[in-house]
């Protein structure tokens, strides 16, 4: 590990079990008391809801029949639920989950703040935002009209996502029918999967599970083409992470045919990556590199789901296999305990999906030792962000840390599922892993802020910074 002085420079689930309602990671520092001292992006994201809608975190806990965030975290970690947790029927579950979105998008009033004669009513177009009266809805329309159609997609995706949780929607899989180099984006991936993909989607659309789902939700079932589009978006969301790892391996020309297999670390992993993970979720990475001799994907983070924690092994992988494991903790501690001691080999690639270090001083403080470690040891690293604004802010931080930024740009394997900002529903939706940054080691190159903005505004195609 780099000297400390240098680093201090800078199975099907029961139908009545609720989904883990974890808001998208849009965090800002908020005073809160947590039982563990490690910085938790899940916790910061949860409590930051109150910044824009005071009391929203308490509403969510109430609707999920929980008394505290600690209880919520314990349950999603696989702990024993307390009395009163859970729901009596799927209908109650979906209703209560929908209730967590009920607050006035304009004045931020919660149901508890309404007069007895008032109720919150949703927008009839998107069914995804609520208002306490017509005056608020009219006042909000200039902002809402810009995102209304997109939020309609969000509302459908939020329902169909349950089919992934229960295992009623199994993604099409198997070796790629086309040469790997021909699959450069989602359009080519969809074309390659062809009839297999359409057969899978038709089977889900005509399934009993789909019928039961919409009966439980208690709203009209959308037209088949709307459901078809939603299923395709959900596929891209599930496969975006493994294919983005593949993008990094491709861009860095990393040899995946070495004896013993390749090791990939996913840093800052949370419940988003690990809560509902299944053994075959990263198979698509293997199909992207049919010549690979094994991939060991180790997910490290303070919010790795307890049910996913598995011991990591230094044993060589069987050719063509993909092994997934998890480790809870900070990455630089994991490095000292596992890599520096020789128990595990150094990673061939490190990836961080939406690390968020640009958004919160607390997270930046936690990420700094890891970023410096990756820089000083010259570990090939890929990070993803939601937007161009996050891209610019993250690039500036990496430049200030003297990292050698090799490339950045729009991710051809971004999730196509729009993500709504939980507490700010009329904010433009974002897409997971929309942009990427790849860096390797340190560099004397310094990109000025104006240069960064010019490169980003040019369309975010792969770009290399000027070097001395």
Give the mean model confidence (pLDDT) for residues 260-275. Answer: 89
Least confident of 41-55, 111-125, 348-362, 395-409: 41-55
Quick check: is 142 in a domain? no
Q: Residue 183: inside a domain, yes or no?
A: no
pLDDT at 136 over 90: yes
Asked whether residue 195 is assigned to any structural domain, the reply reads no
Least confident of 119-123, 206-210, 351-355: 119-123
Give the chain's mean pLDDT.
83
- Per DSSP, the residues of 37-93 read -S--HHHHHHHTHHHHSTTHHHHHHHHTT-S-HHHHHHHHTTPPPPTT-S-SSHHHH
Give the count of domains, the chain.
1
d(CA 389, CA 387) in angstroms, rounded, equals 5
pLDDT tens for each residue of 158-207: 999 999 988 999 999 899 999 999 999 999 999 999 999 999 999 999 99
Residue 294 lies in a domain: yes
Q: What is the pLDDT of residue 339?
A: 95
Residue 117 lies in a domain: no
Mean pLDDT value of segment 31-37: 35
pLDDT of 88 higher than 90: no
For residue 84, pLDDT beyond 50:
yes
**The model's pTM:** 0.82
Binned at pLDDT 50, 70 and 90, residue 283 comes out as very high
Nearest Cα to Cα of residue 159 among 114, 95, 202: 95
Answer with the residue of higher pLDDT: 464 or 216.
216
Q: Which domain holds residue 444?
A: 240-457
Please give the structure tokens belonging to residue 112.
């508890």
Predicted confidence at residue 404, as pLDDT, reads: 95
Confidence bin at 99 (pLDDT 50/70/90): confident
Between CA 147 and CA 158 the distance in angstroms is: 16
Is a pLDDT exceeding 60 seen at residue 395?
yes
Look up the CATH number of the domain holding residue 253: 3.40.50.150
Residue 284 lies in a domain: yes
- Asked if the structure places residue 218 within a domain, the reply is no
Q: Flag whether 316 is in a domain.
A: yes
Residues 141-165, mean pLDDT to the nearest whole number: 93
């Amino acid at each position: 590990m780099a000297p400390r002085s240098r680093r201090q420079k800078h199975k099907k689930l029961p139908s009545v079990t609720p989904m883990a309602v974890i808001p998208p990671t849009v965090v800002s520092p908020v005073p809160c008391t947590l039982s563990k001292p490690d910085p938790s992006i899940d916790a910061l994201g949860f409590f930051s809801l109150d910044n824009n809608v005071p009391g929203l975190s308490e509403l969510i806990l109430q609707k999920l029949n929980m008394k505290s965030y600690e209880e919520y975290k314990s349950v999603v970690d696989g702990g024993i639920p307390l009395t009163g947790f859970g729901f009596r029927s799927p209908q109650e579950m979906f209703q209560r989950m929908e209730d967590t979105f009920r607050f006035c998008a304009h004045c931020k009033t919660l149901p508890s703040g309404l007069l007895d004669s008032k109720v919150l009513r949703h927008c009839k177009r998107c069914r995804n935002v609520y208002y306490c009266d017509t005056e608020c809805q009219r006042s909000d329309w200039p902002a809402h009209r810009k995102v209304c159609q997109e939020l309609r997609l969000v509302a459908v995706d939020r329902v169909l996502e349950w089919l992934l949780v229960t295992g009623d929607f199994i993604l099409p899989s198997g070796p790629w029918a086309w040469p790997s180099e021909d699959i450069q984006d989602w359009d080519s991936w969809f074309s390659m999967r062809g009839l297999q993909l359409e057969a899978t989607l038709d089977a889900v659309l005509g399934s009993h599970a789909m019928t039961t789902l919409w009966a439980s939700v208690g709203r009209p079932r959308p037209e088949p083409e709307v459901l078809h589009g939603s299923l395709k978006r959900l596929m891209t969301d599930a496969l975006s992470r493994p294919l983005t790892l593949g993008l990094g391996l491709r861009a860095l020309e990393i040899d995946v045919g070495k004896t013993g297999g390749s090791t990939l670390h996913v840093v800052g992993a949370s419940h988003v990556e690990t809560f509902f993970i299944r053994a075959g979720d990263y198979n698509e990475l293997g199909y992207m590199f049919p010549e690979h001799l094994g991939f060991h994907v180790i997910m490290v983070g303070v919010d790795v789901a307890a049910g996913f924690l598995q011991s990591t092994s230094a044993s060589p992988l069987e050719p063509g296999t993909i092994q997934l494991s998890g480790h809870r903790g900070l990455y630089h501690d994991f490095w000292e305990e596992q890599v520096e001691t020789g128990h595990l080999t150094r990673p061939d690639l490190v990836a961080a999906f939406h690390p968020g270090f640009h958004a919160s001083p607390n997270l930046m403080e936690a990420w700094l030792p890891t970023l410096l470690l990756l820089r000083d040891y010259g570990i090939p690293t890929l990070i993803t962000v939601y937007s161009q604004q996050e891209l610019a802010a993250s690039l500036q931080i990496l430049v200030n840390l003297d990292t050698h930024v090799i490339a950045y740009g729009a991710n051809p394997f971004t999730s196509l599922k729009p993500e709504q900002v939980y507490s700010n529903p009329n904010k433009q939706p974002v897409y997971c892993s929309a942009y990427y940054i790849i860096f390797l080691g340190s560099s004397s190159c310094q990109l000025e802020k104006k240069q960064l903005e010019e490169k980003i505004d040019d369309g975010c195609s792969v770009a290399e910074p000027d070097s001395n």
